[in-house]
Every structure is written in structure tokens, then in C-alpha cells.
């Protein structure tokens, strides 16, 4: 019988639980989905709080959340499939078997931002103002959601002997291995970015600043954490998420610099 426990031998911690929380009429409900849902709810509540401070009707965020959620899931799956297509060549229909795993946060981010932009254009709402409150909830949701990877025994890194190493059973290796808990690295980084974005609101000069800071800060951490992961999507010898992270840093920097110039032009 496979020992599927999660152990942090250097910290004296051991977790024995199934990735499946419970079943309803034979349908498995996994901890991953529950944790993602909790992250979504917490993120939405936080964004609603900041929306009220900015005199934004919270119902606008609710409308966007309802529309953006399915779009984000579709884009997250499409992103994963596009950059890992070999996995599906023998069974194209498995592309739709999303319950088996295989989504990417950058794909979800692209989808969510795209649909938000379209919504704001149609409703004639300031896109950057909405994003500046939305990213607070987004990064908090990401920080919480990464614990879904912990429950699924996925998104871990290369083998290591560091004191905080995580020991799990690897189905690829067919044995228990000790690895970087990269899910934890990113969760902690995301929580830090969440706090930094709140702090940076005090220095906001123009709509879009917080979105720009989010792109820069989140992607900076993701770039370095991705280098430790053992399951990266690849384009040749390059990690897709690192390429996207660099692009996001460039876009975020362009937004912040552009806003700063507009600010100084008015002085």
C-alpha cells in the first residue's frame, strides 16, 4: 500500500489525509476544489471592501466574478493544454477532463483580465480602477489557493535536503522523495505581495498603479520559484511561466512608469 502522507522531516510535521474530502452521490469532492472556493470567497470579500472605499458598487465586482470565473477556468485549461499538448495527443477528449488536473494560473489571469476589460468597455467603467481593487482579492485568493496544491500533492520542486524539505510519494519516481515545497514558497510570497499592495495604496498616483505593482511583485516571485519546480510547462529549454513572468514585469513596469510621468507632468 502506498504511503501518501506528507511529511516535513526537518520540522517534525506529518499530515495524513486523503485528497478527497468526501463524496456526494458517488461524485468525489476534493480538498483542492474546496480550498480554491475558500480562496475565491475570501478574495471577493477583500476586493468588495476596497471597492466600497473607492465608491465602486460591489455589484459590479459580483457581475465580473460571475462572468470571469468560467472564462478564467477555460483559459487556465487552454493554457495548460497548449503548452503540454503531447499529454493529450493520444486522447483528445481528455482535454475536457479538467477534474483530472491540469490548469495554469497565468492562463486564468489572462482570461480574467480580458473579460474584465470587455465588461468595462461595454459598461463604460474605468478598467484600471476596477483592476486596482480586484487584484487585492486576486492575490489573496492565489495565496490561499496554493494550499490546494498541497492537498493534491502537486506543484512541488526538485529534490533537496533543506531543513524545511517536504517528503511525499512521487508516482513518477515510484517512491517517496524529499523536495522543495514550492507551493508553500508561492503561498508565502503571495501573502507578502497582498500586504505590500495594501501598503502601496498609500502612494497610488493614478488608476492602474496597483495593477502594475501586482504584475511586478507577483511575477518577480513566480520567476524565481518557477526555477525550483519540477513540473514546469516548457517551450524548448525555456519555462513558459518564467517567460510570461518577465512579460508581466515589463507590462507592470510600463503601467507604473507611465502613471508616474503623468503625475510629474501635472506638477
* Largest CA-CA distance found in the chain, in angstroms, rounded: 70
For residue 30, say whether it is annotated as part of any ligand binding site: no
Cα(62)–Cα(178) distance, rounded to whole angstroms? 42
Q: Region of 18 please: left (phi>0), alpha (psi -120 to 50) or beta.
A: beta
Cα(57)–Cα(133) distance, rounded to whole angstroms? 12
Cα(140)–Cα(46) distance, rounded to whole angstroms? 8
Q: Region of 14 please: left (phi>0), alpha (psi -120 to 50) or beta.
A: beta
By the 8 A CB rule, do 160 and 178 touch? yes
Cα(184)–Cα(263) distance, rounded to whole angstroms? 38
Task: Provide CB contacts within 8 A for 145, sequence distance 6+.
Answer: 35, 36, 39, 40
Binding site, residues?
A: 146
Amino acid at each position: 500500500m502506498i504511503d501518501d502522507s506528507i511529511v516535513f522531516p526537518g520540522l517534525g510535521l506529518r499530515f495524513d489525509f486523503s485528497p478527497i474530502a468526501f463524496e456526494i452521490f458517488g461524485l468525489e469532492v476534493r480538498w483542492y476544489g474546496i480550498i480554491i472556493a475558500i480562496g475565491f470567497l475570501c478574495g471577493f470579500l477583500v476586493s468588495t471592501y476596497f471597492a466600497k472605499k473607492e465608491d465602486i458598487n460591489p455589484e459590479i465586482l459580483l457581475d465580473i466574478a460571475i462572468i470571469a470565473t468560467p472564462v478564467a477556468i477555460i483559459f487556465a485549461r487552454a493554457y495548460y493544454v497548449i503548452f503540454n499538448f503531447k499529454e493529450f495527443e493520444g486522447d483528445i477528449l481528455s482535454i475536457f477532463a479538467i477534474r483530472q488536473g491540469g490548469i495554469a494560473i497565468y492562463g486564468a489571469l489572462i482570461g480574467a483580465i480580458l473579460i474584465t476589460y470587455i465588461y468595462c468597455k461595454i459598461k463604460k467603467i474605468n478598467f484600471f480602477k476596477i483592476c486596482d481593487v480586484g487584484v487585492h482579492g486576486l492575490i489573496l485568493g492565489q495565496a490561499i489557493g496554493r494550499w490546494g496544491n498541497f492537498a493534491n500533492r502537486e506543484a512541488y520542486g526538485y529534490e533537496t535536503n533543506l531543513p524545511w524539505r517536504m517528503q511525499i510519494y512521487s508516482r513518477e519516481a515510484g517512491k517517496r522523495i524529499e523536495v522543495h515545497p514550492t507551493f508553500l514558497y508561492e503561498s508565502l510570497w503571495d501573502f507578502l505581495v497582498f500586504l505590500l499592495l495594501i501598503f502601496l495604496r498609500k502612494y497610488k498616483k493614478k488608476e492602474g498603479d496597483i495593477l502594475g505593482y501586482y504584475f511586478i511583485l507577483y511575477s518577480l516571485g513566480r520567476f524565481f520559484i518557477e526555477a525550483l519546480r519540477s513540473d514546469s510547462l516548457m517551450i524548448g529549454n525555456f519555462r513558459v511561466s518564467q517567460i510570461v513572468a518577465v512579460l508581466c514585469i515589463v507590462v507592470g513596469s510600463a503601467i507604473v512608469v507611465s502613471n508616474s510621468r503623468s503625475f510629474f507632468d501635472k506638477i
